[in-house]
Chains A and B, each alone.
Chain A
Amino acid sequence: MQNPQKIVIGKDLFLQPEYDETFKNKKAFEDMPEVQKVKEIAEWTKSKEYCDLNFKREAITINQAKACQPLGAVMVALGFENTMPYVHGSHGCVAYFRTYFTRHFKEPTPCVSDSMTEDAAVFGGINNMKQGLQNCKALYEPEMIAVSTTCMAEVIGDDLNAFVDGAKTEGYLPEDYPVVFAHTPSFVGSHLTGYDNMLSETLKQLCKTISKDKKERLNIVPGFETYLGGIDEERELAEAFGIDAVVIPDHGEQWNTGAGEYKMFAGGTPIEEIKGACNAKAIVTMQPFTTPKTLKICKNKFKQQTFEARPIGLSGSDELVMFLKEFSGKDVPESIKRDRARLVDAMQDSYSYVHDKKFAIYGDPDFALGLAAFVIEMGGEVTHLLCNNAPEGWAEAARAVLDRSPAKDSSRVWAGKDLWHLRSLLFTEPVDYLIGNSYGKELERDTGVPLIRIGFPIFDRHHLHRYSIVGYKGGLNLLNWIVNKILDTIDSQTKEIAKTDFSYDLVR
């Protein structure tokens, strides 16, 4: 029973004896397996035999670490100024995208759908599209609408080009109103494929005049960047070199607005800037495995210089800075030199807690590679590097990163595997620390391996997304999270008075 003076929530409430009683009562009706049997099977799931069986799986994916295409398309749309992401399909999907982003960023996520139902499945969604575009423009007054598709629309074969044209010629939208669109079937690739499809299509559709004379300008593509501080950091790095830089698309402000007033759209790349994006001299992507189509268009169609960076960790940041140096023709500015020196200093202060520690890292392809590179730079060992949505070529790239490590022979690459595979690996070839998103917390509970939360989504810790994980300053954040989790872990393991607390040191 509650004590009105000290009301407790479930966490403490359910520990009270009357709840224990009700749980026991319930058991009589549950027909759950015998305790002994459960223990036995639990132990078996930790075995090598189980691991082998688990890796034989061909059909079922268990605890995947990837999402579907339209999610990435929505992120791209929100990176354009005053642009409404519009998903052609059932509204259920949009409810999910909005919820998923909102839970991660703790910010509103605008996005509409045209609410297709059974009749649209039979007759096609053209009517939904016409009405939907008209309603969306009237209600939310966006300057542009960015349409992507769900698997439903893709399976029935709706043609976006014809639909958008139709909506305009029939007067549902002004002829000159910008609507960009991309097909984003959920059964191909992952949320990253959707990001690339929406971005490459937007550039293709908006960049109408491709000039041979390129402006001294650099386009920066952050990719599916969920650490919003990173977008500013990328821009600032370029600007420190005096480079005229445009981030395309820039969703950094949309999910990082202040209190006091709600405005549906915030920040974003101006539409005029996107129209002229093709005439910038070069484009640099911070997530090459996320943006292959975008790079291809820039290279082949726009005839731009393209550069692939992955500025996570020291060497990744160095490569980006070297590119910026070359591109600008200027010396590396003092501020950047100072930031690099600070990161290296911090790494030298902290390396001893990371050295020789074994890590399992999982996440999106570019993220996983960057994190692995950084851990290795700190002297850590990457025992497992796992990417569920690994594109072609990722495994080789991952191998190349791991081969930089003295522990390369015991470092393994897992392309296309899910988190249930990883669970088996953590039991059979254990590590000291796990790096990944919030879904790793169940792995942490099951295996006892401490989880360092870096990645997407992070649902169960606050504000991490406000920071950066790219560049030298971002490297400092990574180091902070990694090394302090290690220190927390050591403390939690050495708390027992007169037993383990001889290593419960005040000064580290």
Chain B
Amino acid sequence: MGPESLESIQKSALEDILKKYPEKAQKDRAKHLGVGLPADESQKTCGGVQSNKKTVPGVMSQRGCAYAGSKGVVWGPVKDMVHISHGPVGCSQYSRSGRRNYYIGSTGVDTFVTMNFTTDFQERDIVFGGDKKLTKAIEEINELFPLVKGVSVQSECPIGLIGDDIQATAKKTTALINKPVIPVSCEGFRGVSQSLGHHIANDAIRDHVFTSKGSDVGSTPYDVAIIGDYNIGGDAWASRILLEEMGLRVIAQWSGDATLNELRNGPKAKLNLLHCYRSMNYVSRHMEQEFNIPWIEYNFFGPSKTYESLRKIASQFDQGVQDNAEKVIAKYKPVMDAVLDKYKPRLEGKKVMLYVGGLRPRHVIGAYEDLGMEIIGTGYEFAHNDDYSRTTHEIQRSTVIYDDANEYELEAFCKRIKPDIVAAGVKEKYTFQKMGLPFRQMHSWDYSGPYHGFDGFAIFARDMDMAINSPVWGHNKAPWDAA
């Protein structure tokens, strides 16, 4: 018998994995697992999977909640505002500083990203309501941090359940401190994942930020905004530098290292450049409808996608910008080629299993392929169907697709499809490392980065090589164990 094809291994792994579930859960999970093929036009989504549905109870889902989507992703990085975790102490504590949203500022004086602010609900607040406490908290913040530009109220689960009116409190306190207080009803039980939190956060920007004006920054035909880059390990900076080099003026950066003023000035851009489609397409669409600002998606992971994206962005502007884009590409291409010359021979043919959130399960595929690596499994924690449709265009070969995969599935897939490296989140990291598998944490770049742009790709390549070719994975077998 000849060797099985990867595709048949993938399909049988999938069937095998489903068997362990009780009937109802099995039926449900079957809809979220598939094998995607690049040429398969019959499927609406990659692998034909369904997404953005409730998680099966009792499994170890890797998903977060709406609060995590709003406070942890979209609002938290806005640096000159205080974001109150409104409710019990835990959510605030666990979401502190995990996402490495780099920023420049004097923490505790004019910027507040890595700090924790919570109304620390006690039983009496649940019983009597927390509106008064919230009002007082906002006054105290304004007193202790006079340079704060505004406050956002990030609701935790109990707020919606006990019926506190944070909208009214926000309105009242806006007048009281004469700074915007923005209510965000991102209670964790809303929706099925952090995704709804992104949407709610976007709506809050629409309703509470666009209603006031930012500073006068003039106007040029080259004004753009970076949307959906959270500056993890400095990603947005490594991206911004390229946009500026091609002659564009980045008037706003959302929301990594962002200020309230940049949020307010977003609608002044001539073109919105959207990196994380999943978390900020909502407000980009709104700006298109309301202010007539077009938006395009771009992908700054890996040289191929970055060249492509730079040209795509430039094509929206005049010849001058287009020429500049070519100059930027010409300048960096030798460096990128040198990086590839160095690392591709060490990584060629290695198989990658991905599991992340946001844009990464598809956006990083190109970067791996530039290095000669193959993606044999990918999936999203909280995607919608359009994310999976987009994924179809990225894959080059049969790929296992898992939506809202849980710990059991990831481990089981890994054992069956045998990747050379797994790239997922911190909760997964040590599980796979214990199995002797190289791993990179792709939410936080494993405390490295940036990974965006040309500078970022060099680091990405170095890190993948480091992970796969480290001697540490060879130490598992003790000398006294028989060969």
Contacts and interface: CB of A to CB of B under 8 A. Distances in A.
Interface of A: 1-2, 4, 7-10, 13-14, 18-19, 21-23, 25-26, 28-33, 37-38, 41-42, 45, 50, 53-54, 57-64, 66-71, 86, 89-100, 102-103, 106-118, 120-121, 127-129, 131-136, 138-140, 150-152, 155-156, 185-188, 190, 257-262, 420, 423, 439, 442, 446
Contact of B431 (A9, A10, A262): A262
A136 B194 contact: no
A139 B54 contact: no
B61 A262 contact: no
A134 B58 CA distance: 7
Given A66-B89, A118-B189, A446-B108, A151 B157 contact: yes
B244 to A, nearest CB: 6
Nearest to A262: B434
A53 B143 CA distance: 8
Interface string B85-96: 001111111111
B125 interface: yes
A42 B88 contact: no
Nearest to B68: A92
11 contacts: A13-B234, A30-B259, A31-B259, A67-B94, A89-B157, A95-B62, A98-B427, A108-B429, A117-B189, A140-B60, A187-B126
A42 B147 CA distance: 10
A9 B459 contact: yes
B327 to A, nearest CB: 14
Contacts, number: 344
Nearest to A62: B117
B89 A31 contact: no
Contacts of A261: 434-435
Nearest to B477: A260
Contacts of B251: 29
Given A38-B110, A115-B54, A186 B257 contact: no
Contacts of B475: 259
Contacts of B191: 117-118
B31 interface: no
B299 interface: no
Contact of B117 (A60, A92, A115, A423): A60
B215 interface: yes
Given A95-B63, A139-B20, A151-B87, A29 B262 contact: yes
B146 interface: yes
Interface in B160-186: 160-162
B407 A95 contact: no
B88 A135 contact: no
Nearest to B225: A29
B54 to A, nearest CB: 6
B237 interface: yes
A93 B98 contact: no
B222 interface: no
B58 A152 contact: no
A410 to B, nearest CB: 26
Given A14-B234, A42-B106, A45-B109, 16 more contacts: A2-B339, A22-B240, A91-B55, A93-B90, A95-B427, A102-B430, A103-B98, A110-B60, A114-B58, A132-B58, A135-B58, A138-B20, A139-B408, A151-B157, A187-B123, A442-B114
Contacts of B47: none
Contact of B261 (A31, A37, A91, A94): A31
Interface residues of B, number: 130
A127 B24 CA distance: 12
Nearest to A438: B97
Residue of B147, B149, B252, B332 ringed by the most chain A CB atoms within 10 A: B147
A8 to B, nearest CB: 8
A64 B21 contact: no
A103 B95 CA distance: 12
A96 B125 CA distance: 23
B365 interface: no
Contacts of B434: 108, 257-262
A112 B58 contact: yes
Interface in B51-65: 54-65
Contacts of A136: 58-59
A29 B435 contact: no
Given A67-B89, A118-B189, A112 B59 contact: yes
Contacts of A66: 89, 93
Contacts of B96: 439
A25 B104 CA distance: 13
A388 to B, nearest CB: 9
Contacts of A38: 106, 109-110, 147
Contact of A108 (B135, B241, B406, B431): B431
A1 B114 contact: no
B156 interface: yes
Contact of A95 (B64, B117, B240, B338): B64
Interface in B421-446: 426-436
B19 to A, nearest CB: 10
Nearest to A37: B147
Contacts of A32: 80, 105, 110, 259
Interface stretch (B272-280, B388-396, B450-458): B450-458
A117 B241 contact: no
B109 A41 contact: yes
Nearest to A4: B338
Q: Which of B157, B190, B253, B434 has the most chain A CB within a 10 Å cutoff?
A: B157
Most buried by B among A31, A114, A133, A442: A31
Contacts of B188: 90, 92-93, 152
Contacts of A134: 22, 25, 58
Contacts of A33: 110, 147
A131 B56 contact: yes
Contacts of A94: 60-61
Nearest to A101: B427
A201 B209 CA distance: 48
Nearest to B65: A92
Contact of B141 (A4, A28, A60, A98): A60
A42 B144 contact: no
A155 B158 contact: yes
A120 B189 contact: yes
Contact of A13 (B21, B140, B194, B455): B455
A190 to B, nearest CB: 7
B84 interface: yes
Contacts of B60: 94, 98, 110-112, 140
Contact of A90 (B22, B121, B157): B157
B422 to A, nearest CB: 12
B233 interface: yes
A91 B66 CA distance: 10
A29 B84 contact: no
Contacts of B335: 1-2, 4
B475 to A, nearest CB: 7
The listed residue with most B CB atoms (<10 A of its CB), out of A25, A114, A151, is A151
Given A1-B454, A7-B459, A188-B123, A91 B65 contact: yes
B179 to A, nearest CB: 13
Given A41-B110, A111-B60, A92 B252 contact: no
Contacts of B341: 4
Contacts of A260: 434, 436, 476-477
Contacts of B260: 31
A68 B233 contact: no
Interface string B343-381: 000000000000000000000000000000000000000
Contact of B61 (A21, A113, A128, A151): A113
Contacts of A109: 427
B200 to A, nearest CB: 13
B22 A151 contact: no
B450 A10 contact: yes
Contact of B88 (A107, A112, A151): A151
Nearest to A172: B22
A107 B135 CA distance: 41
A37 B233 CA distance: 28
